[in-house]
Amino acid sequence: MTERTIGKALRPLALGLAAVALMGATQPPVVKTEGGAVRGAVADEGQALVFRGIPFAAPPLGERRWTPPAPVVPWSGVKDATTPAPACLQNDYGWNRADFRFAQEDCLTLDIRTPGLSGKRPVIVWIHGGSNRAGSPNDIVTSTITRHNVVLVGIRYRLGIFGFLSHRGLTAEGKGASGNYGLMDQVAALEWVKRNIARFGGDPSNVTIVGESAGSQDVSLMLATPQAGGLFAKAILQSGTPGFGLPFRPLAEAERIGDQADALLETGGDIGKLRAASVPALLAADLKLHDDALESDDYMWLRTTIDGAVLPKSPHDLLAEAPPRPVIVGSNRFELDLPGGRPHRDAFVAKAFGANEAEARAFYRLDAPDPAPHPRLGTRDQQIATDVTFRCPANRMAQILARKGAPVWQYEFDLAPDGGMTRHALDVSYVFSEQTFASGLSLQAYWVQFARTGDPNGPGLPAWPAYRPEKPAHVAFDGAGVTPLGALRPQPCSLMERL
């Protein structure tokens, strides 16, 4: 398939762009939102309008720390929305240094890129990754995906100890619930989008939420939580499901992590004193929190807490009860290494496969010397890590959703521009840039078609068969193009039942 063919496939998506060009968009656009007026900027030679840092909730400061997001505090005049907004507070893990340096607690804002202020376009809401402890939408609003007549929104949400801490004092305040404030922020952002996006040329009845890694996990939890009911129509999960294959964390266990925070900060269980703690002290404490169920505390805020509010019970049960919505779910051929590294491999396998541990050890031949790495799957340890944390939970997620009648499409992405193995998050650039593979094929074309219609298949695109409970199927996106295949990695995944 040529780039011309892909262009033909996307041509219906671009209708209306000529009208945007005719705007003579030289004057900065001003839009009245529910909080007040915002002034954006003209981008992409007049083909797009960009708004950054629009508040969707009140600043979560002081007494609002660790509370559900409050309504936006209205402002007077016109707020400048042309410069990058700060990320939410986070520690420095190296890869997120830019966000660490440009972060603050007052961070509940979103960015919008739109082809124009009139019309009713499909809306894509991006929920960023970063282990729920770091990251931001960064420059997602520079994506040219909006050339295909969609509106793009990137949201910020509280992270780490600020966004996901449960605590006995907070549980008392919350009448039996605490934690997952970052998820509450995501719900609040989606509520804002529903109420305001029409003013930016978007269709509030046609919203697709998309996330990668922790953002993908959070998208899956938006599918589960009753609080997000009616706020979006479709979802795309890129490398992340509820808990990443970890057992869900009961509130009682989550509160014991809050006890650790009290001990580290010497706040004696007093939530008022904890709220008064300094940002540096809280960030330092976050690095020392521990969960005995984990082989690496890097996954501290990825283990899903059943908080009693956003998630009143197991996400597994909530997903079974939620209304069926079209979903794309997938993972990369290679994602990440073993949590905790080789010394933790045996414990990791034992916890992941439970009663089937012996069969899993036999499949991976763990009592034999290390084989040569597979050219696409990686080392044996990397295969275990990707199976347990990403691939098998994605299979399980597809099965749960398809069994309830939801239209589901599954994929595995296997491409690296340097010819090596793929890796975690590499697929993101193929969605939000013009990057193509296999004679002009584009993930972006499928994602946009799905956002428009709820089905990734469309004119000029190679067929992508739906996943059926009785006939699991996925497509491989790789150097050969788009290849329909059957069940993904069935042998080890049949031994693992967790999401």
CA distance 370 to 17: 55
Q: Half-sphere exposure (CA, 13 Å, Cβ side) for 281?
A: 13
Identify the active-site residue in 191, 335, 412, 442. 335
Per-residue b or e along 312-351, where b marks 16 or more CB atoms closer than 10 Å to that residue's CB: eebbbebbeebeebbbbbbbbbbbbbbbbeeeebeebbeb
Token pair recorded at residue 222: 């938006």
Active-site hit among 212, 424, 442, 474: 424
Domains of the chain: total = 1
**Residue 442 a catalytic site member:** no
Mean pLDDT over the full length of the chain: 94
Residue 498 forms part of a structural domain: no
Q: Is the pLDDT of residue 21 over 70?
A: no
The CATH number of whichever domain residue 84 belongs to comes to 3.40.50.1820
Query: Which of 213, 216, 314, 442 is the catalytic position?
Result: 213
Q: Is residue 499 part of a domain?
A: no
DSSP 69: P
Q: What is the torsional sign of CA 353, 355, 357, 359? A: negative
Q: Is the pTM of this model over 0.85?
A: yes
Within a domain: 363: yes
Task: Look up the domain containing 410 and give its range.
Answer: 3-493
Q: What is the mean pLDDT of residues 385-410?
A: 97
**290 found inside a domain:** yes
Q: What is the mean pLDDT of residues 65-74?
A: 98
DSSP designation for 87: B
DSSP 247: P
The number of helix segments (H) and strand segments (E) in the chain equals 18, 16
- Which tens digit of pLDDT belongs to each residue from 299-339? 999 999 999 999 999 999 999 999 999 999 999 999 999 99
Give the SS3 label for residue 49. Answer: strand
pLDDT exceeds 60 at position 19: no
Note if 212 is an active site residue. no
Tell me whether residue 412 is exposed, middle or buried, using C-beta atoms within 10 angstroms of its C-beta: 0 to 12, 13 to 18, 19 or more.
buried
Tokens standing for 47? 């083909």
Q: What is the arithmetic mean of pLDDT over 23-49?
A: 90
Instruction: Inform me whether the pLDDT recorded for 20 exceeds 70.
Output: no
Region at 261 (left for phi over 0; alpha for psi -120 to 50; beta for the rest): alpha
- pLDDT value at residue 27: 84
The torsion defined by the Cα of 448, 46, 116 and 102, in degrees rounded to 10, comes to 80
Confidence of residue 438 (pLDDT cuts 50, 70, 90): confident
Provide the pLDDT for residue 26. 64
- Comparing CA positions, the residue from 409, 460, 429 lying closest to residue 13 is 460
Two tokens, residue 183: 């998820």
Strand-pair category, 109-114 with 151-155: antiparallel
**Catalytic annotation on 278?**
no
Hunting for tokens 């739109």 — which residue is that?
A: 114
Q: Of 151-155, 198-202, 254-258, 434-438, which gets the smallest average pLDDT?
A: 434-438
Torsion angle in degrees (nearest 10) through CA of 434, 438, 373, 211: 40
Q: Is the pLDDT reported for residue 286 higher than 70?
A: yes
**CB atoms inside a 10 Å sphere around CB 441:** 24
* CA atoms of 192 and 52, how far apart (whole Å): 15
- In a 10 Å sphere around its CB, with 0-12 CB exposed, 13-18 middle and 19+ buried, how is residue 60 labelled? buried
